[in-house]
Structure 1
Amino acid sequence: MTLSPGAAHPPPTLPGDWLTYHHDATRSGDVPGIPAPGALRPTWRAALDGAVYGQPLVVRGTVVAATEHDSVYGLDPATGRVRWHTSLGTPAPLSSLPCGGIDPLGVTSTPVYEPTTGLVFALAELVGGRHVLTGLDPATGTVRVRRQAESPRGTPRDDQQRGALAAVDGRVLITYGGLEGDCGDYIGSVVSVPATGAGPVLSHAIPTARQGGVWAPGGPVLAPDGRVLVSVGNGGSTKGPWDGSDSVLALDPRSLTVTGSFAPTSWPQDNAHDLDLGSLTPALVGRWVLAVGKRGTGYTLGLSTRLRRTGVGGEQAQAHLCGAFGTAAVSGTTAFVPCTDGLLRVDVGPDGVPRPGWRVALRAAGSPVLGGGAVWVPDYGAGALLVLAPATGRVLARLATGPLPHFASPVLSGDRVLIGTTTGVTAFTGA
């Protein structure tokens, strides 16, 4: 199904809209115009038909949330009332997959609003392991575009699509990794589909024998120079020539050709021990790209220098930070990095050296966002959302959310805070 001629005349979006993961295409998570946190309180809890792993979107006054039951909902932002509900198909039961940790497996990634069509796009996994990209009218939930979109290599049933979708130049970018447990025949990739549904699908597969998943929750990052950045997990090689894995890649969005790449000199050991860079979305911090992974070493890379060539080593600087998972929030030259043991403030100096600052202990840190002079970070191990002072890490507020999915991340829209839970969406007000 493709977009009908003349249907793509979208009305303007509104202040307070949240149209993509972490608010903007750079995945900064830094949201202007948010009031300082006040007396925060829960206002509604929308019980939907499955877990909401991705961030909800806010599009022209409608909250759009996708579930692991392969449903997309339009909700009233004031009350959580369901305005519309669209089923994308039947999700894949865990029993039908070779491994994994989500049951059933439906929509795991954060959808994206695509401005040339005015549609919200979501990627659904269906029973049998097929992956279908669907474009919906955010006002009504009507399906306008539907197209199968698979990774170019490996076995679709062994793929998992966790990274947030991105909208770039009239196309929707999709990243693929593997299921929890790294089983089966999967090879990480980036896939680009025309937002109209018509025209060629482009793709780039990691040139490794297996694995090399592109799975970090933030998905593709649009850099200031127009290129797309992704982080890549461990690959099948542990000796010999570098196989493209354990890396940061810079891609031309028009062709998905690699225009620059970086892997640490430790890549063979990283691959052998699952200590790769693929667990954290690349962060644009000042004029540097900050890459941190499971090993805990943070690397800074120059977009116009190191990431204009390919290969191993040659970072600007490195420092031990923390084992990192998810997506950092960034303001200027400061990043707030979700670690295995909490949230870490990292400041990157003019020399490119990443310097760790305060650390707040959490059971399992989700991906933070910034707004109203505060850091908002979920603790999905404790079922809570914490509000922190950026300069010191002091806890300003702690809100009970109930059970949260892995790598949960909040949404800030006006005085409202939204977060996906294992049963739907919860909203707080008082920001």
Structure 2
Amino acid sequence: MIAASGIFVAYAALAGGGAAATTASATVHAAAAATVPLGQVTAGDWPTYHLNNTRDGNQTKLNPVSTLSVDWSAPLDGAVYGEPLLVGGRVLAATENDTIYALNRSTGAVLWSAHVGSPEPLASLPCGDISPLGITSTMVYDPGTNRVFAVAETTGGVHTLFGLNAGTGAIEVQTEIEPPLGDAITYQQRGALTLLNGRIYIPYGGLFGDCGNYIGQVLSVATDGTGMQSFAVPTTREGGIWETGGGVVDGANLLYASGNGQATSGSYDGSDSVIELSPTLQRLDYFAPTDWATQNGGDADLGSMTPALVGQYIYVDGKTNNGYVLRNGALGGVGGQVAELANTCQTFGTAAVSGNTVYLPCATGPQAVTIGADGTPTLLWKSTVPAEGSPVLGGGAVWAVDYFGGELYALDPATGATKAQIYLGSTAPNFVTPTVVGDQAFVGTVHGVVAVGGA
């Protein structure tokens, strides 16, 4: 663990969020009245990607959807790719400028901010499409230590795990977290962080364009930054683990999806798969399609969708326009699916799940699929709205963002019909997903965070 000397922690209030205090301590004290004690997670919090470690995104503590309105818009110092978290009345968000913020839930005022380094300029990367490249994945909050954890990329392709005190923004953990294999500059840390039994799990994939020497990997460290363990996809190159949901906790183990690997013929190379890992990152089981080699050759793999837990089954799609139902606890290896659903959609992101229904993050707009007791998948509906973002559920609606158009939609879970929609004021990053709690939705945009009322 490295000391946090030299890291600047700033305290400020956004214009319009109340008068700024003249000292840092005064600003923190003034804003604290709108928050509750940290160090715990309550029913009204959203401490990790898609609410919980199963990544179902199903919020039961949301008021019924009504007329939507923008409560506030908080301009930050960069794009917010990760899903905002909500803990103790604080909205926690991180930017591609390597700054982590705590915002007042009611006003959007900045309670604290911590700039942890200089992001990597796109011109310095071998390929990619995020400029600059800083904090891209969704953070995770640990009530045991009262820290929010984030992985930042800084100049030189350095990847560092930071653990910040969620009440003050003080940096309490800082440790370099580089994948053991490949070249650091070729990696992008896109998948959400997962907290499990006092450890942080961190997946790695490549940059847009799949350039350079990288292999999909998962790393983990204790919440004090020590004791690193790792897993690498057993392929010679690629096989990135970049799906937005990161590790899905299934009982005691974790599920990840990997992208296409280098091999396009011969023996199966371990890529293009759903992988079950132990807490110590040993591969316990896997699934891969029978045409994995063809998928590898065409960049048409499973790695773009987080596996969805649906009772005794797991549903996964990807870039193939083909959905696979797997048996939970027995993934089946190559060709081991229970059932398939053809002509679905290309999925990019993480589904929401309620009961036996999976709401898919399709490039053409959300779709809903039901899984029968025998594992048979059936298409329930296809939406006509251009909401490509990862959906969540709450208040009798499916919430999804058209990130190209900057529109938030609330859809009927039974039919896909639009119940409400609102323009966020700007476009949003690819694969964005909203946070929905109480009577609000919080969405990261290319400029900061927007809070929508009426959720």
Shorter-chain TM band? over 0.9
CA distance in 2, matches of 1:258, 1:57: 30
> What does residue 212 of structure 1 align with?
239
Structure 1 counterpart of 2:440, which letter?
R
CA distance in 1, matches of 2:185, 2:208: 13
> What does residue 265 of structure 1 align with?
290
1:158-197 matches, cutoff 5 A: 158-197=186-225
CA distance in 2, matches of 1:15, 1:206: 36
CA distance in 2, matches of 1:177, 1:129: 13
> What does residue 335 of structure 1 align with?
358
Distance change in 2, residues 1:273/1:160 (3 Å): same
1:138-287 matches, cutoff 5 A: 138-198=166-226, 200-223=227-250, 225-253=251-279, 255-287=280-312
Structure 2 counterpart of 1:97, which letter?
L
Structure 2 counterpart of 1:246, which letter?
D
Q: Tell me, yes or no, if the aligned pair for 1:117 and 1:196 is still in contact at 8 Å.
A: no
CA distance in 1, matches of 2:114, 2:77: 11
Deviation of residue 118 (structure 1)?
Answer: 1.8
Q: For 1:81-109, what per-residue CA distance to the aligned partner results, in whole angstroms no more than 9, with x for missing partners?
A: 01111011000000000010000000000
CA distance in 1, matches of 2:3, 2:377: 46
> What does residue 48 of structure 1 align with?
76
Say which of 114, 122, 137 aligns to 2:150: 122
> What does residue 25 of structure 2 align with?
none
Distance change in 2, residues 1:27/1:398 (3 Å): same
CA distance in 2, matches of 1:96, 1:348: 46
Q: Tell me, yes or no, if the aligned pair for 1:14 and 1:61 is still in contact at 8 Å.
A: no
Three-state SS of the structure 2 residue aligned to 1:342 is coil
CA distance in 2, matches of 1:139, 1:378: 30
Q: Tell me, yes or no, if the aligned pair for 2:43 and 2:61 is still in contact at 8 Å.
A: no
Q: For 1:344-369, what per-residue CA distance to the aligned partner results, in whole angstroms no more than 9, with x for missing partners?
A: 01000011011112111343510000
Q: For 1:280-327, what per-residue CA distance to the aligned partner results, in whole angstroms no more than 9, with x for missing partners?
A: 0000012100010101111111122x32x6x31121111112111100
Q: Tell me, yes or no, if the aligned pair for 1:3 and 1:197 is still in contact at 8 Å.
A: no
> What does residue 351 of structure 1 align with?
374
Q: Tell me, yes or no, if the aligned pair for 1:337 and 1:343 is still in contact at 8 Å.
A: yes
CA distance in 2, matches of 1:15, 1:354: 32
Deviation of residue 376 (structure 1)?
Answer: 0.4
Three-state SS of the structure 2 residue aligned to 1:131 is strand
> What does residue 290 of structure 1 align with?
315
CA distance in 1, matches of 2:283, 2:97: 35
Structure 1 counterpart of 2:147, which letter?
L
Say which of 306, 309, 314 aligns to 2:336: 314
Q: Tell me, yes or no, if the aligned pair for 1:187 and 1:205 is still in contact at 8 Å.
A: yes
Say which of 124, 130, 141 aligns to 1:96: 124
Q: Tell me, yes or no, if the aligned pair for 1:2 and 1:196 is still in contact at 8 Å.
A: no
CA distance in 2, matches of 1:148, 1:396: 46
Structure 1 length as normaliser, TM-score? 0.96
Structure 1 counterpart of 2:407, which letter?
A
Three-state SS of the structure 1 residue aligned to 2:294 is helix
Distance change in 2, residues 1:3/1:286 (3 Å): farther
Say which of 325, 328, 343 aligns to 1:303: 328
Residue 367, structure 1, aligned to residue 390, structure 2: yes
CA distance in 2, matches of 1:388, 1:139: 35
**Cα RMSD, aligned residues only:** 1.4
Residue 414, structure 1, aligned to residue 442, structure 2: no
Three-state SS of the structure 2 residue aligned to 1:11 is coil
Give the count of matched residue pairs.
Answer: 421
Q: Which runs of 5+ in 1 are unaligned?
A: none
Distance change in 2, residues 1:124/1:72 (3 Å): same
Structure 1 counterpart of 2:378, which letter?
R
CA distance in 2, matches of 1:129, 1:353: 45
Distance change in 2, residues 1:385/1:19 (3 Å): same
Q: Which runs of 5+ in 2 are unaligned?
A: 5-36
Q: For 1:138-158, what per-residue CA distance to the aligned partner results, in whole angstroms no more than 9, with x for missing partners?
A: 111110101000112110100
Structure 2 length as normaliser, TM-score? 0.91
Three-state SS of the structure 2 residue aligned to 1:271 is helix
CA distance in 2, matches of 1:249, 1:201: 20
CA distance in 2, matches of 1:12, 1:206: 35
Deviation of residue 116 (structure 1)?
Answer: 2.4
Structure 1 counterpart of 2:242, which letter?
W
Deviation of residue 10 (structure 1)?
Answer: 6.2
Q: Tell me, yes or no, if the aligned pair for 2:366 and 2:387 is still in contact at 8 Å.
A: no
CA distance in 2, matches of 1:43, 1:262: 44
Deviation of residue 122 (structure 1)?
Answer: 0.3
Three-state SS of the structure 2 residue aligned to 1:381 is coil
Residue 137, structure 1, aligned to residue 165, structure 2: yes
CA distance in 1, matches of 2:39, 2:296: 47
CA distance in 2, matches of 1:413, 1:356: 28
CA distance in 1, matches of 2:398, 2:200: 29
Deviation of residue 61 (structure 1)?
Answer: 1.3
Deviation of residue 204 (structure 1)?
Answer: 0.1
